Structure 1
Amino acid sequence: MKIDKYIILPLFVVLCACNDFLDYKDKDKVIPSKFDEYSELIYGELIHKESGASCLNLLIMSDDIGSLVEGNKEDQRREYLNWYCWAENSQITPDGVEKIDPAWEFLYHKILMCNVIENEVGAMEDDLEGVKYRLLGEVQAIRAMSYWYLVNMYGEPWRSEEQAKTAMGVPVNIEVSIKDNQYTRETLARNYEIMETDLKNALMNLEKGEKKNTAFRPNKDVVRLFLSRIYLEQSRYEDVITVCNDLLSETTRIIVPLAWMKGNNDSWWYDYPMVSRDAGSLLFTWWTRDAVPTFGSSSSVGRFCVSLELKELVKEYPNDLRGMSYTLWDYSAKTIYKYHSPESKCYGMNYRLEEAYYNRAEAYICVGKWELAMNDLTSVYRERVLNETDPKLEASDAEEAMKIFRKEKRKEFCFEDIRWFDIRRWGLSVEHEYHDINDSSKSVTYVLEAESPNYVLPLPLDVQRLNDKIERLKRVEAIVK
């Protein structure tokens, strides 16, 4: 992988020059030299920046998604079929066209920018307002989050501490300028060590730094949430509980209330998307990306839709508002209003307070405190159901509690990318039915087997072509049932 051309996007390129970074270069370029200028740079380059069609495969590969055929004129699924069937070479469409997810380039660009800004801001003198520490905390948080996505897309899943010592992670870039290097993969253990260090440093700096009470800047809430994610993946359950306790005791965010959920189901329900700046639970928002392909189409006759399995799941809970709105999908509207940009008033990648309850609940179950887990699940459930006097989720043992937990988490976070990461983490099998565009009565069922090597996405084709040193995990051919 060549950092100068193939991992990063062109950016403010002068930022990455070298030691004379703050010198005047050209009157057409703006060179940050003050904290407020770096603050704007972080917002524009690391938070606000759009990513196009990145990470759409996370949804298409999950079991939240099914396919629908209502005629034989046009098929808008075909371009994404190889993601949908977990093909060995998923970056080539059935028509032989390259379809490369831009996430690798997009996220490594962010990592390089974080390195540069951390280096320059760290060398500046402290200020009374603590802006310096806020900026350092923000870039450390964003760098850790960027690595988290890369590791969980292009690295092997964490299975044990011993396995992680040799399992393939992703390359680590520590440069503060553009260099023509070819990088190799680090171990999974090294990646997690780097993420944890960055998140802990971010938490420390944000504690000391200027306070921004907004979901549009990285903050202690989202840092703790990502710490809970990596601790869950490492089976460090007591650490999960501790960090979620800290988050939930200090945050000013709330679970999306039932009153908001009700608004999501009247004649103006699209004005109340669940993922929203105004719904109360948003911890952090960044990174705008394209809409899910074919979901918003009114003319397509072959398109993606909510999976039948997910629809059947929500039918088990007839009073659950999540099943009455976005999960069932309005076929006439041809879209899902869980997130709708004009009404959501936030970016496309979002993190909600509810996840802290679910992460702590999972950890409680794994350490034998399943009754406490059910209390956490109930905290969310009672804000999701109608016509129940005392909404409550109960289990008789840890096994039943885990079954309820997984169902509740799937309902709560469908279409938010979390499901694909849970499929990898839990080693689940998934099936996708694909109906023939010319005869909807005919279909093929593709299978992603449990613990499949195809949990790991292939390296982008341009990286494969240009870097013969980087290790590649062998994927397998698509399996047809």
Structure 2
Amino acid sequence: MNQIKFYKNIFLVLPVLLLSGCEDFLSTEPDSTRATINTPAQVSQLLTTAYPQGGYVVFAESMSDNVEDKGRGEDDITNRASFLFQEVEATVEESDSPDMYWAECYRAISVANQALDIISKSDEPSRFTAQRGEALLARAYAHFMLVSYFSKFFDPQQANTDPGIPYVTEPETVVLKNYERKTVAYVYQMIEQDLLEGLPLISDGTYTVAKYHFNRAAANAFASRFYLVKRDYAKVLQYANEAFGGNSIADNLRPWNTTYAGLSPQELWNIYARANQNANLLLVETASTVGRYVAQYRYGMTYGKWLEISAAAGVINGSPRWSYPLYYQGDNNYFIPKLYEYFVRESVNADIGTAYVMLPIFTAEEVLFNRAEANAYLGNTAASLVDINLFVSKRVGNYDPSAHTVTSASMRRFFGTTNTRDGIINTILAFKRVEFVQEGMRWFDMQRYALPVTHQTVLGQAITVPATDPKRLLQIPQSATLAGIAQNPR
């Protein structure tokens, strides 16, 4: 079991930043500003905003089995409605809401399309090869996230003819344009087309800070995630291996049981989402208050829920404990220091502004898990176990390689199965649940494996949402209906 520490002064000091640099360049009149964008460096600067700057963590985590009703706490509408599987009646201006995420994804897509349009009209489009690659990857990623949350989840064993989301490939030239949802299958086809066209064009040498853009590692990580959903395991393995080239993935995993082990909460917050951390492959500035309220949400991680999540350590021989530092603030408000808020004032003397976190949207750990899962389905049991044990070596306290091992026998015993592959898959899902707690990643696995969800309220109401329940789909924003986009049935 982890040592639990009380941390009172969580939010005493929030760094206050002022909009500058790229934001100033991009905040002027779009048509006039973008008419002056004609060099690769300027297109690269434009593409820093081709990523959704809205958060998915709150609604994704709140729908998952990582949270429970504490009975009291921060009453955030996205947190509450998502836990109860109700429509989130929060506007596009409200941080962390599905409506904001929808709008931010399409804003990012619009920027990517604008960049592609500039490149196509250039006298020398060959000068923009890397920028074209990034724009295609950014466009594919935003559509992938949209279809994952706002449509029925992709199932490679089905026709996937359910309504998708509009796949937008051209800059908007009219104030109000009608869009067609088409099908989930069509959206996946278009994502794959952009992904495969853009990935070979990515160049790490193009950017000052590559981790704020789709670099080679992040692009391959995205490909491994995409093909994991499609269950094309040979391609998952291919792209997971290419994410780090000939370098060892071990050097890129978070050092929770060494370097991180001696850090205070403030020190962890300061480095977790930094570009100098090898584990972070792609970082996106996200308008979100999750850094402020993650421990305080009414529907969040309690100590009992943490015991359930962290029980995955039981699959490891030697009775180890996880090295994740668990803290609490007040009654039953638990958290692991990860995402830290910084506040951007509207002006120098303003008292109002926007809260942001830097969000790692692709990490080395995800690539490792994707590779282990792919190898399990490809029958490469030994390779899967190597990756699983590599993860363990960075996560348990006082790690002893001769004692702290995951074996076929330990997995079968812990999960009560005679099937080694099932044991591996269950182990990977359980370890991912621990690793990405409070980051919103668990919901993807629950969707991929069609895991039912039951949320119990303090009043005794049980909300059970099976895999086929349409309430698992986020509702299309009401404002999108003005563009002819039909809402989801509930």
Which of the five TM-score ranges fits, normalised by the shorter chain? 0.7 to 0.9
SS class of match (2:388): helix
What is the CA-CA distance between 1:460 and the residue it aligns to?
Answer: 0.7
1:176 aligned to 2:171?
Answer: yes
Measured against aligned partners, the alpha-carbon deviations of 1:169-188 in whole angstroms (never above 9, x if no partner) come to 11111222322321121211
Query: Aligned match of 1:392 in 405, 408, 427?
Result: 405
Gaps of 5+ in 2: 1-25, 92-96, 314-318, 343-355, 410-419
Q: State the alpha-carbon separation in 2 of the partners of residues 265 and 106 from structure 1.
A: 36
SS class of match (1:284): strand
Match of 1:39 in 2: 44
SS class of match (2:46): helix
SS class of match (1:202): helix
Scaled by the length of structure 2, the TM-score of the pair is 0.77
Residues 92 and 115 of structure 1, relative CA distance in 2, 3 Å threshold: closer
Q: State the alpha-carbon separation in 2 of the partners of residues 147 and 373 from structure 1.
A: 30
What is the CA-CA distance between 1:315 and the residue it aligns to?
Answer: 4.0
1:82 aligned to 2:86?
Answer: no
Measured against aligned partners, the alpha-carbon deviations of 1:192-251 in whole angstroms (never above 9, x if no partner) come to 121122122222211597466631221111111111111111111111111112223246
Match of 1:472 in 2: 487
SS class of match (1:69): coil
Residues 386 and 455 of structure 1, relative CA distance in 2, 3 Å threshold: same
Q: State the alpha-carbon separation in 2 of the partners of residues 416 and 304 from structure 1.
A: 12
SS class of match (2:397): coil
Q: State the alpha-carbon separation in 2 of the partners of residues 283 and 58 from structure 1.
A: 21
Q: For residue 319 of structure 1, what is the amino acid of its counterpart?
A: P
Contact 2:59–2:98 under 8 Å retained in 1: no
Q: State the alpha-carbon separation in 2 of the partners of residues 111 and 13 from structure 1.
A: 19
Q: State the alpha-carbon separation in 1 of the partners of residues 239 and 460 from structure 2.
A: 46
Residues 419 and 381 of structure 1, relative CA distance in 2, 3 Å threshold: same
Match of 1:479 in 2: none
Q: State the alpha-carbon separation in 2 of the partners of residues 109 and 338 from structure 1.
A: 27
Q: For residue 82 of structure 2, what is the amino acid of its counterpart?
A: W
Match of 1:337 in 2: 337
Contact 1:65–1:304 under 8 Å retained in 2: yes
Query: Aligned match of 1:280 in 278, 296, 301?
Result: 278
Match of 2:455 in 1: 432
Aligned length: 425
Contact 2:309–2:433 under 8 Å retained in 1: no
Match of 1:62 in 2: 64
SS class of match (1:215): helix
1:133 aligned to 2:129?
Answer: yes
Q: State the alpha-carbon separation in 2 of the partners of residues 29 and 387 from structure 1.
A: 55
Sequence identity, in percent? 19
Superposed, which structure 2 residues align to 1:448-467 within 5 Å?
Answer: 448-464=465-481, 466-467=482-483
Superposed, which structure 2 residues align to 1:212-361 within 5 Å?
Answer: 214-250=210-246, 254-258=251-255, 260-266=256-262, 268-273=264-269, 274-292=272-290, 295=293, 302=298, 304-306=300-302, 308-317=304-313, 319-322=320-323, 324-326=324-326, 329=328, 331=330, 335-341=335-341, 347-361=358-372
Contact 2:59–2:78 under 8 Å retained in 1: no
Q: State the alpha-carbon separation in 2 of the partners of residues 286 and 423 from structure 1.
A: 24
Residues 50 and 241 of structure 1, relative CA distance in 2, 3 Å threshold: closer
Q: State the alpha-carbon separation in 2 of the partners of residues 447 and 41 from structure 1.
A: 44
What is the CA-CA distance between 1:364 and the residue it aligns to?
Answer: 1.4
Contact 1:283–1:351 under 8 Å retained in 2: yes
Residues 304 and 313 of structure 1, relative CA distance in 2, 3 Å threshold: closer
Q: State the alpha-carbon separation in 1 of the partners of residues 177 and 376 from structure 2.
A: 45
Scaled by the length of structure 1, the TM-score of the pair is 0.78
Q: State the alpha-carbon separation in 1 of the partners of residues 295 and 233 from structure 2.
A: 43
Query: Aligned match of 1:112 in 93, 105, 110?
Result: 110
Match of 1:96 in 2: none
What is the CA-CA distance between 1:407 and the residue it aligns to?
Answer: 0.8
Q: State the alpha-carbon separation in 2 of the partners of residues 218 and 425 from structure 1.
A: 24
Moved over 6 A (4+): none
Q: State the alpha-carbon separation in 1 of the partners of residues 365 and 210 from structure 2.
A: 17
Match of 1:408 in 2: 431
Contact 1:35–1:131 under 8 Å retained in 2: yes
Residues 147 and 225 of structure 1, relative CA distance in 2, 3 Å threshold: same
RMSD between aligned residues: 3.2
Contact 2:217–2:281 under 8 Å retained in 1: yes
SS class of match (2:243): helix
Q: State the alpha-carbon separation in 2 of the partners of residues 272 and 297 from structure 1.
A: 15
